[in-house]
A and B are shown apart, each in its own frame.
Chain A
Amino acid sequence: MTTQTAAAREEKATEDLGAPLYVAWQITNECNLACLHCIEESGPGKAFKDELSTEEAYGVIDQLVKAEVPYVSFSGGEPMVRPDFFGMVERITKGGVGLKIETNGHYLTPENCARFKELGVKAVQVSLDGATPASFNKMRVHGRFDAALGGISNLREAGVPIEINFVPAKFNITEIGAAVDLAHEIGAYSFYTGKLMFTGNAVRTWAITAPDENDYPRYFATLKEKAKEYEGRMRVYYHEMGLLDELRYRLENPAALFIVLPNGKVKLINALPFTCGDLRRDTLGKVWQNFSLAWKSPRVSAFVERLAEDPTIVSRLHQWEEAV
């Protein structure tokens, strides 16, 4: 999220807001794929034992609607494997919340895409880590490049706005230019990428996934060129900051967004183990109050500084600690 000020004399801090502006909700940890780099350690059979029930998820949605949260993303795991997925989509979009779906694209049938259009889904972001079947299928274990492309084609046919997400790895980083071209060719309006993060499954697969650090300057130079080439036709967003720099920046400037886990616990940001509440137990208002306090917690800042010494401490993804 970026912030601009209009008809105002000063920037407002996140704590001045009455509720988050963006909620990234991992609605399940279950997934049909087992990607080498998955930051959530999702995969077949990886649903949490205590994921929110339909009734509990609807309760969270009702709170998001009441708090007028403008934008929510449903991700996973693969969000579309939840049996009540479309019930959740319908409830939240009818409540007036802008919704983005983040998916691997394998369930984007013509019928599902038509339903997204009908329900006014604002965007569907599809992960397309590669411009060729070879690199895509290597990264996305059990995944099929043609299935993802077919899903994107169905989105386009239905008139649903498309975003593409690309994660670089050792074996696809040189395809970045072709991947941006492909995204445009298949009708995307935004393209997102950054660096591979050392967390989740990537910790175990780092030796085969991590690009050489020396490859990144060329990678970002290509993205810069592509952003210029597609200006006015497709937005190319890339995040050059490494994890440590990002977290140091967030300590000073927390974004007005939080992460809801499949079991209702709320994290400050994906790479940190800290939670600031539990939507099964706490109201959204209470969690939001905790959120600002949690970012000021000495434990959080100490953790970030420890990360400078030991990058492996972010690998313990699901060992949560309450920050407040």
Chain B
Amino acid sequence: MSYEALIKKAWTSGAYSLDEAEAAKADPAAALSRRAVRLEMEQIAERETWDAGSCFAAHKEGIMKLAPFVKFREEKFGAVLFETRSEKVYTLSPTGAAVVREVVAGADASNLVAKLQEKYEDPSGKMAGEATSFLASLKEKGLVVE
């Protein structure tokens, strides 16, 4: 079985191993390829496990959390997020800082914006819009897990 075929099989069926019939058809070069793919998958799984613990804990508790490789610090202008894996810095406006403060406090996605609206005046709804879109971007970047 080729590398591509094995990948396809793995992602469609969730099975990373071959049955005996498939294995019998495999040539030695393909077997090497399979071992390489398997090793690759195991390595990815190992790396992902590092982050998965925190995601799982947050999920069980029904809350959001900063990812384990993210540090948050308040500043006069708002705040900064520091992502230790890529050593990237994100500077946050006061609205961004307020969103992350609620995440750190253990808010869940469904009530975070409502909590902000209780604390800050937002007659135009501008803050709510910004907070919603910012939270989505934090999740998309993997900086916040739930």
Q: Check if A and B associate.
A: yes
Does B90 interact with chain A (Cβ within 8 Å)?
yes
Comparing A8-16, A270-278, A283-291, A295-303, the segment that makes contact with chain B is A8-16
Which residue of B has the minimal Cβ distance to A192? B87
Interface majority SS on B: helix, strand, loop or mixed? Answer: mixed
Closest residue to A255 on the B side, CB-wise? B89
**Is there an interface contact between A161 and B90, defined as CB atoms closer than 8 Å?**
no
With beta carbons under 8 angstroms apart, the residue of B73, B89, B137 that contacts A2 is B89
Contact A256 B89 (CB under 8 A): yes
Q: Which residues of A are found within 8 Å of B89, using beta-carbon distances?
A: 1-4, 21, 256
CA distance A317 to B55 in the complex (A): 45
B33 within 8 A of A: no
Against B, the Cβ 8 Å flags (1 = close, 0 = not) of A184-205 are: 0001011000000000000000
Residues of chain B with a CB closer than 8 A to A144's CB: none
Tell me if A224 is interfacial: C-beta within 8 Å of chain B. no
Contact status of A159 and B137, CB under 8 A, knowing A3-B91, A70-B84: no
* A156-B91 contact, Cβ under 8 Å, with A7-B96, A235-B86: no
The A interface is mostly helix, strand or loop, or mixed, namely: loop
Q: Is A17 in the interface zone, CB < 8 Å from B? A: yes
Residues of B within 8 A of A18 (CB): 73, 75-76
- Say whether A71 contacts B134, CB under 8 Å: no
Q: For residue A70, which residues in chain B have a CB less than 8 angstroms away from its CB?
A: 71-73, 80, 82, 84
* B88 within 8 Å of A (CB atoms): yes
Chain B's closest residue to A160 (CB) is B50
Which one of A1, A6, A19, A68 contacts B87 once the chains associate, using CB atoms below 8 Å? A1
Output the nearest chain A residue to B96 by Cβ-Cβ distance: A7
Does the CB pair B91–A12 fall under 8 Å? yes
Is residue B130 contacting chain A, with contact meaning CB distance below 8 A? yes
From A7, A9, A68, A189, name the one whose CB has the most chain B CB atoms within 10 angstroms.
A7
Q: Is the CB of A6 within 8 A of B73?
A: no
How many angstroms between the C-alpha atoms of A18 and B78 in the bound complex? 11
Q: Which of B49, B82, B99 contacts A7 (CB 8 A)?
A: B99
Which residues of chain B from 39 to 73 have a CB within 8 Å of any chain A CB? Answer: 40, 43-44, 46-47, 49-50, 69, 71-73
Contact between chains at B130 and A7 (CB < 8 Å): yes
Residues from chain B with a CB closer than 8 A to the CB of A235 are 85-86
Find chain A residues with CB under 8 A from B7 CB: none
| Interchain CB contact under 8 A, B82 and A6 | no
Distance in angstroms from B88 CB to nearest chain A CB is 5
Residues of B5-62 contacting chain A, CB below 8 A: 40, 43-44, 46-47, 49-50
- How far is B84's CA from A1's CA once the two chains are assembled, in angstroms? 9
Residue in A1, A7, A190 whose beta carbon sits within 8 Å of that of B92 in the complex: A7
Given A71-B82, A159-B46, check contact A2 B88 (CB 8 Å): yes
Q: Which residues of A contact B137 (CB under 8 A)?
A: 6-7
